[in-house]
Amino acid sequence: MLEKSIGWQKSLNIATAVYKITETFPKEERYGLTSQIRRCGTSILFNIAEGILKHSKKDFANYLTIARGSCGELYTQLVLCEKLGYIDHTACKEIMIQLEEIIKILQSSIKTLRKR
Domain of 59 in residue numbering reads as 2-115
The whole model's pTM is what? 0.92
pLDDT for position 66: 98
**Segment-wise mean pLDDT, segments of 10 residues, the chain, 116 residues:** 88 97 95 96 97 94 98 97 96 96 97 88
The single-letter DSSP state of residue 1 is -
Residue 7, CA atoms < 13 Å, CB-side half-sphere:
26
| pLDDT reported for residue 47 | 97
Q: What is the pLDDT, as a whole number, of residue 116?
A: 64
Rounded Cα gap, residues 60 and 51, in angstroms: 4
Among the listed residues 103, 106, 99, 98, the one whose alpha carbon sits nearest the alpha carbon of residue 51: 106
Give the helix/strand (H/E) hosting 7. helix 6-22
CATH number for position 104:
1.20.1440.60
Separation in Å, CA 42 to CA 14, 67, 116: 8, 9, 28
Please give the tally of structural domains in the chain: 1
